[in-house]
Amino acid sequence: MKTLKTLAFGLFLTTVYFACSPSAALLSSSETLTEKLSTIASNWGDLNSYDPHSSCFSYVPEVGVRVRYLRARPELGLFVVESMVGKKAFLEGPHVQGIDCSSEASFGYYNPAFIQRLHDMAELAFSNPRFVSRFESFYDAELKNYLRTYYLSYETGTSSKAIQSQYLQLLNDTNAGADAGDFLQEAFRNHADTMEPKGYDWYEANTCAGFWARRSIDGTADEFYALLKSAMEVFDPGFVKSS
């Protein structure tokens, strides 16, 4: 009887272990993500954000997501990340042939399953002390203030139901054209004005609020916020606790 109990307990522990352990595919994907993030951090100063064939032109090329994406794209472009994650990033929108920043009539609706899987991969990377130690200086220099801006813009962007509704109306109005993007920028002008005196970039504060508004519309705000918070709890825990 004792032997049967021991075997049963051993079987239980084995079942729990495999149920809670990441799959080989997830481990492999996370390792690839870790390698690519490390490569980006090591070579950031040599990476070029200029691409004459890209639609992601920015009037403020020193800040914002576009310049960062273009610099990181050789390692972590849309199709590279989709291949690692094993899921499409977007369910609908203009990003069929790659990231298209020129669309004035639509925006990308993210795939929640893509964000959740990416989060799982990132969590494994963040649990690697060696990676965290190597990546920390890059995070502090290039990402800390920007991700804080996203964090502080979350409530403003997600709670703006009237703004979201009007933005959608303008997108659906074939005569409105670029007015939808202009509207969203003007809608969050006060938010950016409030953030700038606190040391945050005006443009980034404005566009981060707009990002959260769009994520509220496509239903992925919670997934993105969880991913953002996971990164900040590792690399910027004091800020998260004090906010």
The answer to whether the CB of 110 falls within 8 A of the CB of 91 is yes
Per-residue pLDDT of the chain (243 residues; tens, 9 = 90+): 555 444 444 444 434 444 445 688 999 999 999 999 999 999 999 988 766 566 666 667 678 888 899 899 999 999 999 999 999 999 998 888 788 777 777 899 999 999 999 999 999 999 999 999 999 999 999 999 999 999 999 999 999 999 999 999 998 886 655 688 889 999 999 999 999 999 999 999 999 999 999 999 999 999 999 999 999 999 999 999 998
- For the beta carbon of residue 51, count every other beta carbon within 10 angstroms: 12
Confirm whether 12 is domain-assigned: no
With 0-12 / 13-18 / 19 or more C-beta atoms within 10 angstroms meaning exposed / middle / buried, residue 101 is middle
Give me the domain span that covers residue 109.
24-242
Confirm whether 87 is domain-assigned: yes
Residue with tokens 């920390």: 136
Confirm whether 10 is domain-assigned: no
- Structural domain count of the chain: 1
Confirm whether 14 is domain-assigned: no
Confirm whether 4 is domain-assigned: no
pLDDT at position 243: 86
What is the rounded distance in angstroms from the CA atom of residue 98 to the CA atom of residue 12? 46
Confirm whether 212 is domain-assigned: yes
What is the rounded distance in angstroms from the CA atom of residue 154 to the CA atom of residue 202? 15
Confirm whether 18 is domain-assigned: no
Q: To 10 degrees, what angle do helices 129-138 and 24-43 make?
A: 30
The enclosing H or E element of 228 equals helix 221-235
